[in-house]
Homo-oligomer: A and B are copies of this chain.
């Protein structure tokens, strides 16, 4: 969206037309249950809702969804599952959490190998693709790569939403996420690692920093975690044997 604003630079004042990113709130219903309201970039809502249901442990595959009705006007998504089940929602206001405890998630066994230089060139390509970021200086982006090229790429004002969107698209198009590298513009906190583990992704690459707890889980679960991947440098926090 465009707005006229006032830019001040080196003491000069200038009226310019600026491009701003949009935000919206979407509420996801599964059957009759109001699952969650999320603040997001109001695009790719189908991918977002499918990815969110998967990340939250409510579905294991896209085929479990019978209907996914998006109503932009009322900002709602109504999802019907093929086999309706009880949905576990924790206490009010807690948000929906993974229904699987991290401790019970199996270690990642992937034998993937990828050259360090390839990671850096994928990050450079990824960065070059973020159109919305270039326009507005806002939004996060996330993509999947098979180590050769970027296959799925999405943007959102929320770090986590961008990742749910690419997971959603991977599920819809039946991509094998066990063979994917996840690249994200945002910081890597435990929530991001949980989503990646749920999707069995062996390598997470971020342009930004991870938290201590995120690194700890990646070391336990044999996920390769790379941070500050920019230009000609990156930090390897865990399972570095996949990077050759």
**Using a CB–CB distance below 8 Å, which chain A residues touch chain B?**
1, 3, 5-11, 18, 20-24, 27, 34-37, 39, 89-96, 116-117, 136-138, 157, 187, 189-191, 208-215, 228, 232-237, 240, 243
Question: How many copies of this protein are present in the complex?
Answer: 2
CB neighbours of A243 from chain B (8 A)? 8
| B209–A136 touching, CB < 8 Å | yes
| Supplied contacts A5-B235, A23-B213, A23-B214, 10 more A-B pairs, CB within 8 Å | A3-B215, A5-B236, A5-B237, A8-B236, A9-B233, A22-B212, A23-B212, A36-B94, A92-B92, A136-B209
Q: How far is the CA of A116 from the CA of B8 in the complex (A)?
A: 8
Report 16 cross-chain contacts, Cβ distance below 8 Å, ordered by A residue: A5-B235, A5-B236, A6-B235, A6-B240, A8-B116, A8-B243, A9-B233, A10-B233, A20-B212, A22-B212, A23-B213, A23-B214, A37-B91, A138-B208, A138-B210, A138-B211
CB neighbours of A138 from chain B (8 A)? 187, 208-211
Given A90-B93, A93-B95: A209 touches B9 (CB 8 Å cut-off): no
| A157–B189 touching, CB < 8 Å | yes
- Shortest Cβ distance from A36 into B: residue: B93
| A234–B20 touching, CB < 8 Å | no
CB neighbours of A211 from chain B (8 A)? 20-23, 138, 157
The residue in A7, A18, A190 that gathers the most chain B C-beta atoms within 10 A of its C-beta is: A18
CB neighbours of A228 from chain B (8 A)? 137
